[in-house]
Chain A
Amino acid sequence: MSGAVISAGPGAAAPQAGGTDRSPLPIQVWAMAGRSVIRLIRQPALVVPSVIFPLFLLGVNAGGLNAATNIPGFPTDSYLTFAIGFTFIQAAIFSTMGAGQSLAQDIENGFFSRLVLTPMRPSALMAGQLAGLILMGQFQALLYLAVGLVAGADFAAGVGGYFVLAALVSVISIGFGGIGLIMAIRTGSGEAVQGMFPLMFVLLFFSSMTLPRNLIEQDWYRFLATINPVSYLIEAIRSLFITGWDGEALALGFGIAGVVAVLSIALAARSLKGRMLK
């Protein structure tokens, strides 16, 4: 596959005006993205848990916490409809590990060093890694929505809401994927990337994942959930299921996901440059 990056593919062989043998960026991205996607498909052991585990927790929470819908002020009478938003975020965070893990593996087994010797652009490497992640995110979004609807969840936003959901999941995948890439590039160790898992879990659990923020009784917990950006990502997706079109929730969700994506990709690019110079 690395050969494809260096020279193969239509248009790749033609030298550019600058005199370098570098193939155009889209071809490099395409080659890396193809590798990332094929790698994902060939490793079901990496993919299956990140798809199944969020569904398992959704099932457990929907059955175990349905009594919470009796709390005065709870926004819906179906806990499944309330909880399904969290599933998308959980899956995106699991995928973060996947993206970081793949790159760390490349660094550990020397593939990355060989890649550095080619005229490939750092941006192509990153975009390629993220492409697999986005594809996975889209697959998960479709699957979770289908499972949720079959199980009886409401989707108040309707068909148009699906496209908004898909867009938001993509931005979130890029944002969290970027964090995974930073860890992988900086440490070059799959074990270190895995070490991020507890931190990600803390971010998930200390959010508004199980109850709306206004119904959390403990002040300290409500405070943590309010300053935790993950709460707003969950609430944006949740709004599509419960309210339909809640401009404020969606703006906050897209805004925060966008900021995380821009910052994580910028930092990952910077780290990548440093790693390539080593």
Chain B
Amino acid sequence: MNDSGQNMYFSAARAVAWRYLHNLYSKPAVFIPGLVFPLFFLAAFAGGLSAVGDTPRFDYYDFTAFQFGFILIQASSLAGVFVGFSIAADFEQGMGRRLMLATSRRSAILLGYAAGAALRLIVVWVIITGVSLLAGMEVRGNGYDLAGMYMLGLLSNVVALLFSAGIAFRFRSLQAGPLMQMPVFIALFLAPVYVPQDLLTGWIEPVARVNPVTALLNGARSLMAGEPTGILLAYGVAAGMIALLGIWALRGLRKAEMAG
């Protein structure tokens, strides 16, 4: 790709990102659920279950901070899923087809949605972090640790986005919404949500051990505590999923192109 081609490519991605954010913030009904759900879970888990933090062998320093790790990964992932909804809605309304006609290299469309999702995520992070701090969350990680933690959130967002975009490009209808949302929701809840991994019992214990979300969650929590452990694993898992799901999303995009 020469300079002019590169400029056109990024210009198309920028336009898709801007359009996505414009639509998002001009429609509160679309933006608010993605924000309210994580806050609601934060209140329900950190508030209602704080006594669980006092149980023997629960060795994390602060229950609200422990739950924040989950809420960060959950909110970031759901923000990715919501982009899948937007892609599906665009195709349903005919906008997706027009975007395809307007760009010569269609991966710019995916890049644009991803950039929009990342910018949206910053607002979500600011709000959930602010609310958690107001609720008395203690932060032990330093600046580098926290940057690493938010980076894991961003990677979770990209993973969920690529997964749901792959479905959205294939089905091109909002009716595929549950197919995007449910697997992500289930994967999130099959990780150590309420207690550290060592305290899980029953069937969920082996499931959580092989669930990739567990690595992300444990990594984010350790960074929040200022005692980074399993970070390479977390980033490795995220990179692997992004590589696989990137292929899934791009192949979906090809299918959408072929569908015309």
Q: Which residues of A contact B (CB under 8 A)?
A: 49, 56-57, 59-68, 70-71, 198, 201-202, 205-206, 210-211, 215-218, 220-221, 225
Q: Is the CB of A210 within 8 A of B48?
A: yes
Find chain B residues with CB under 8 A from A61 CB.
194
Question: Which of chain A's residues has its CB closest to B29's CB?
Answer: A195
Question: Which of chain B's residues has its CB closest to A80's CB?
Answer: B202
Q: Is the CB of B48 within 8 A of A216?
A: yes
- Which of these, B48, B55, B204, contacts A71 with CB under 8 Å? B55
- CA gap between A65 and B53 in the complex, in Å: 11
Q: For the complex formed, measure the closest distance between the CB of B233 and the CB atoms of chain A, giving whole angstroms.
A: 21
**A60 in contact with B51 given A66-B201, A70-B56, A198-B33 (CB within 8 Å):** no
Interface string of B192-212 (1 = CB under 8 A from A): 111100011111110000000
Q: Is the CB of B195 within 8 A of A64?
A: yes
- CA gap between A221 and B204 in the complex, in Å: 27
- CA gap between A210 and B36 in the complex, in Å: 21
Q: Which residues of B contact A (CB under 8 A)?
A: 33, 36-37, 40-41, 43-44, 47-52, 54-58, 178, 186, 189-190, 192-195, 199-205
Q: Is the CB of A64 within 8 A of B36?
A: no
Find chain A residues with CB under 8 A from B54 CB.
71
- CA gap between A57 and B205 in the complex, in Å: 15
Supplied contacts A49-B178, A63-B203, A68-B52, 16 more A-B pairs, CB within 8 Å: A59-B202, A60-B193, A60-B204, A63-B200, A63-B202, A64-B204, A67-B52, A67-B57, A70-B56, A198-B33, A198-B37, A202-B40, A211-B49, A216-B50, A221-B43, A221-B48
Find chain A residues with CB under 8 A from B55 CB.
67-68, 70-71
Question: Which of chain A's residues has its CB closest to B63's CB?
Answer: A217
Q: For the complex formed, measure the closest distance between the CB of A189 and the CB atoms of chain B, giving whole angstroms.
A: 14
Find chain A residues with CB under 8 A from B50 CB.
216-218
- Which of these, A60, A67, A198, A206, contacts B199 with CB under 8 Å? A67
- CA gap between A218 and B43 in the complex, in Å: 10
Question: Which of chain A's residues has its CB closest to B198's CB?
Answer: A67
**A59 in contact with B204 given A64-B193, A64-B195 (CB within 8 Å):** yes
Q: Which of B58, B178, B201 has the most CB atoms of chain A within a 10 A radius of its CB? A: B201
Q: Is the CB of A65 within 8 A of B195?
A: yes
Q: For the complex formed, measure the closest distance between the CB of B154 and the CB atoms of chain A, giving whole angstroms.
A: 26
Question: Which of chain B's residues has its CB closest to A151's CB?
Answer: B202
Question: Which of chain A's residues has its CB closest to B58's CB?
Answer: A67
Question: Which of chain A's residues has its CB closest to B33's CB?
Answer: A198
> Would you list the 9 A-B pairs with minimal beta carbon distance, nearest first?
A63-B204, A63-B202, A221-B47, A205-B44, A67-B199, A66-B201, A64-B194, A218-B47, A217-B50
